[in-house]
Every structure is written in structure tokens, then in C-alpha cells.
Structure 1
Amino acid sequence: MSDPTCQTMLDIRNGKRASTVVLQLFNWKGDIWGGGSTLAAYEDGKAQQAFAQLKQALGSCRSYEGTGWVGKYKATLTTEQAPGVGDEAVRFRETVPMGPEQPGDRNEQFTVVRAGNTIVTFRKLNVGDSASFPTDLVNRQVERLQNAQRP
């Protein structure tokens, strides 16, 4: 990883530091570009600590280079207005140039929300255009998550 703070962001958004992780894929009718969510459960207090590290990493991570399924790439990050859900939330977008032979740049939005001892990441992918994970679905999923954690 070209930038260690970006590695922190990737680890947290993918649930690498959590004790339990569940991935869910979303497909929308008429949209070939999917989305998904990563639900990461942490031991007491560790989700809040991880989220603080995520916010700090997003403060300095503007781009990173990596290697994916199709080879080397460079991703550029831009932060966006976070939704007012959960205990705290952030939203950012990653853009990866795909080259002149492709229909456009890879564009993926991430909405990351902490609710109690969990961090859930919603992601929506598009190529050649921007896309957003549906706000009403984020709200409903986070509400369900919060209700499930109530005693």
C-alpha cells in the first residue's frame, strides 16, 4: 500500500479488525453495477476506537495505489456529506481511472456508519458515472441494527 493511512481506511471499511464480519450483496433491477454492505461487530469500545481511526485516516488519505484483479491501479478519494444516521457516519467516494478503452472511470461510494459496537459499510459501484447507495435503505438498515442492539 502506497499510503499507510489509506491501509487503515481499507482495513476498517472492510471489517478486517472486527471479531465477526458479514458481507451482503445487493443487486438492483435495471442496474448492472451492484452494491453491498459489510457488517463488522467489535468487542465493547473497539468499534468507537476503530471509527475514530477511520475518521483520522480519511483526513489524510487522498489517494493510494494498489493491485487488484486486473492489475495495478490508483484510487483517488473525495469525502462527501455523511448521512445523519447511527452514532456517527462518514461518506466518501473512490475513483479509479480505467483507461481509454473502458466506458469510463470506476466510481464507488462508501457510507460507513457506527451503531453501538458495530460498523456497517454500504458501497455502491458504477463505471462511467457516479452512483449512491439508496439513502432510505441505509436508514432502514441502520435502524434495524440499532434496534437489534437494544436490551
Structure 2
Amino acid sequence: MPQTRGRAVDEPPPEDQSVSYPTFPPVSDASCQTMLDVLEAETASASVIQIFNWHDGIYPGGSTLASYDGTKAEQAFMQLRKALTTCKSYTGTGWTGKYTAQVTMEEYSLLGDETLSLRITGPTEVGMRNEQFVIVRVGNTTAAFSSMDVDRPAEFPRELINRQVERLSNSPLR
């Protein structure tokens, strides 16, 4: 993408093939793996991730905007909704080793065409992990927002979610 709205964009250099990043096996529950894959936009045609560093937190939050071909965004949302009917807890291996997580659905006001909110919690070496996810579909685009903290509830600022969904809803490409 050499230009965006008439502005030049720096293209990242090709990945250094000499650097090896670990890959992690799927988590213990297939429906929970499906949930994680949808939240990470694994089947999207294109996606972009933005990291937010909060002034009052030690863990960053983030958002993932993902574009899908045709009705694949709706299909991803259906997969997520179905996965969340059975995904209640799972175990996995991550950057810090083995972990256990519990998943709970949360109420959230409707934004865009569809909205889901969930929370993933689990023990860590430094306390109880608490991570909130809000995912919104607007047409063929999804926007997933996450915020994580330890020993206190994490909340992604609703105002930022509202502004991003408004931008997506008003897009001429919708």
C-alpha cells in the first residue's frame, strides 16, 4: 500500500528470515481455539493491529481492524457466537509457559451490525489476569478491542470503541 489518502506510507522491511518466533500449539478446547482465532482475525483478508499504552496501567490494550471478503465477516461472527456457547475454560501454552483461562460472556450495548463482549481470566505468576474483549461487526469489517490488567477489571474505553465504530459505519466503502 504505497499511499493512503494521498499520503506516503512507510512500508515495513521484509521479515528477517533469520529471526525465529515460537509457535504455540492450539489450546485444549477446540471451541476456545475458534474463539481465539476469530478475535485475532485469523481468516480475514487483511487486518491491522494497534497497541494502546494506558497511563494508569502496566499492560497495553489493543484493537484489531479486519476486512473480510463477501459475507466472511458475518461467518466469523457466527463462528464466534457458536464457539462461545461451549467455550468456558481452556489450557494452553504461551510466552510465559502453560496457563489456564476461564471465559465469560458480558452484556454490551449493540454497536454496528453485531456486538459481542467477553472476559478471559486466569491465574498468573503476578496475580489474576483479567482481559476484556469487545468485538463489533460493521458490514464486512470487524473491530476487536482488548484491555488487560492483573487483579482488577480491565475495561477498554467505551468512547474509543464508539468513535471507531462510528468511523466504520460512516465509511463510503461500507
Give the shorter-chain TM-score range: over 0.9
| Alignment-derived partner of residue 41 in structure 2 | 15
Q: How does 1:41-52 map to 2 (within 5 A)?
A: 41-52=67-78
| Alignment-derived partner of residue 154 in structure 2 | 131
Amino acid at match of 1:12: V
- Secondary structure of 2:77's counterpart equals helix
Q: How does 1:23-42 map to 2 (within 5 A)?
A: 23-42=49-68
- Which has the higher Rg, Structure 1 or Structure 2? 2
Cα displacement (A) at 1:144:
0.6
CA distance in 2, matches of 1:32, 1:2: 28
| Alignment-derived partner of residue 94 in structure 1 | 120
Cα displacement (A) at 1:82:
2.0
Runs of 4+ in 1 over 6 A off after TM superposition: none
Amino acid at match of 1:79: M
| Alignment-derived partner of residue 111 in structure 2 | 85
| Alignment-derived partner of residue 144 in structure 1 | 167
CA distance in 1, matches of 2:132, 2:56: 19
CA distance in 2, matches of 1:81, 1:149: 30
Amino acid at match of 1:131: A
CA distance in 2, matches of 1:51, 1:63: 20
8 Å contact kept, 1:116–1:149: no
CA distance in 1, matches of 2:92, 2:143: 23
Cα displacement (A) at 1:28:
2.0
8 Å contact kept, 1:111–1:121: yes
Segments of structure 2 that go 5 or more residues without pairing to the other structure are: 1-26
Question: Please, what is the CA RMSD of the aligned residues?
Answer: 1.2
TM-score with structure 2 setting the length: 0.81
Amino acid at match of 2:61: G
TM-score with structure 1 setting the length: 0.93
Change (3 A) 1:74 1:137: same
Cα displacement (A) at 1:30:
2.7
Percent identity between the aligned chains?
51
